[in-house]
Structure 1
Amino acid sequence: MTGPRVGVAGAGIAGTLLAWRLKLADRSLRVELVDAGSPERGATGASGGLVRGYEPDLAQLDLAASTLAELRASRLLRAWSGYQETGSVYLQADPADPAAVEHLERLLPGSARACPPGEAPYMAARHAVVERHAGFISPRRLRDEVLADFVRSGGRLVHGTVGGVRAGPGGTVSWQVDGRRRHYHSGVLATGPWTPVLLPGDEYRTKLIQYGVYDATGTVPAPFVDEVTGLYGRPGPGSGILLGVPSDAYDVDPAALRPVPALVRRTTDLAARIFPDLGITGLRHIVVAADCYTAPPGLRLRPAPPAVPHLFTFTGGSGGAAKTALAAARHAADRLLHDLAVPA
């Protein structure tokens, strides 16, 4: 006996984790994962891989801390992702919401402490949340290992370009893969920066992601985010450091991305201000990619336009969806299983 057929378009970290969660939840599901894009130009290939529990938004904090808790509890996931625990610092202008810190403490006991100005690392004028249980992963490595396990578990992987998304006969949803139409009981577009092409409109927008890996002298800081300036970073290979700032370049073509020199200048200027004892001695390389954004941001399952029932998107991250991907994929799988009337 076979169960419903589910299609997931997009084999980045989000789509792969979702397909894997579905297959593990019910082996009778016929889950097909379409590797539809270029991982190097999508968010998975570009992600710096910061994983921390704290987020100012409580819903995003729950996903991030739940992801980190699962990662730390699983030897397999730690190995698959290359998890390195270094701690992290989140700098902000205002005090952290005590409810957020308390919720983080429940999910990751003994990890976080809130610091007032004067006690915050790096910038004395900032408030900060300092976490002990945080660090970074390789999203691409995690994706590759999960993809292999998905196939071992009986999931089907196909390669090709997705297009022509529409409602199919009998309440199904369909799309074309290299000219061949494929039908599913439920379909999910986890296509990142290519989503606006498949679902034209104002809800989904493609945005540039850019950061640099620099040679550095002095003490390289633990992973950090400065909410005020937008600067973020983590230790890089060797004595290097990964540094970046958010861009404001929307509606870019993900197949024709170019570095923005102004972002490099802004990044190095901010790093010199925030870390006066850190010396940036050279730029090793720039990473340029794109992701899909929507409002409110955050990686989660969203219904597509009503004209195509049983079609969802799993995208709309804030550019750092790796830190929420495990938990977000679990929630998305649960919702799809409910939609299919399949017990989880």
Structure 2
Amino acid sequence: MDVPAQSGQDNQAYHVPILPPRYVQHFLRFMEARGIGPQALLEGTGLTEEGLSQPHAGVNMNQLLALIGRAADLVEDETAAFEFGKELDLAAHGLVGAAMLWQNDYFRLVEMIVEYERVCLPIQDLVLTMHGADLHIQLNDLWDLGRIRPFMVRIYMGSIYELSRHVCREMTFEFDFRTRLSASDWQAVAPEAALSFNVGITRAVIRPTQSMVRDLRTDLPSFIARLHSRRQMEADEDMDNTRRQVREQIFRNPGSDCTLEKIADQLGMTPRSLRRHLRAEDCSFRELRNEIRRIYAERYISDTRLPLSLIAQKLGFSDQASFTRAYRAWTGRTPGETRRGEQ
């Protein structure tokens, strides 16, 4: 495998584990869904699936360079790296969630995103500066990445995009290398941002709106709860298809609009047909909705300080008392008891 040269770097540093194996495991699953299996990616990297499953395993820079080099050779879609960055769910790992939830200072909030990226992905440095009302996140190289640098930059940008789009309304991403794709191709991948290539600098420019700070206390807690909930409710691979599709639809919107009739319409079915399919899979719409409402409720109560009345509203209950009765039936505790226990 042609690993990029380590010019100007201490060679020994490239053998020190810097990345938890979960990122590589996630990457292998992501690439497998795109038709490239783990064996093809791990060949010549010094990594094995068995080794990555060890509790104290770590991935060093040489191994990472070889792995990304294999991926860059095998994947034909330039957007794949950006899409993978979007799926990293860095905010769902817990550290950034609590810090972000109660930051009314926009610069400090984005600064926390940047700091978290530095800790989780110590491959490139991110420098945050303010220019008027705009925040600039510039990517600087920490390692000699050679030909895989564009691939790695796109991963970073996808991750920054996914985190930042929940706390701002206008973003621009600039790359200092070319692309073979059209503007519309990239717009499909990042519909809430403008992307420019071959501009001599690699950075993200984030522009807050006047309503951004006002929205933080409702939008961002929902974002964190949603990310945590997705991990908790991930479907088993053996789950029947209709059940999985219904759970995904409920997950996207567990509130008052979450009715059997609306979800049946979204799935191109009649309500009667949807009931029949779910009955054949030994479940009901009500059971699935309550399962996901319970997951959301636990995350909202544990991970946010949203008032219980607002949680009830977000989950589609007519009032807080109805929510409290449902939550007690699910867990044997009241929402207040759970929150006091968390504190």
The TM-score bracket by the shorter chain reads under 0.3
Give the helix-richer structure, 1 or 2: 2
Larger Rg: 2
Higher relative contact order (CA 8 A, sep 6+): 1
Give the strand-richer structure, 1 or 2: 1
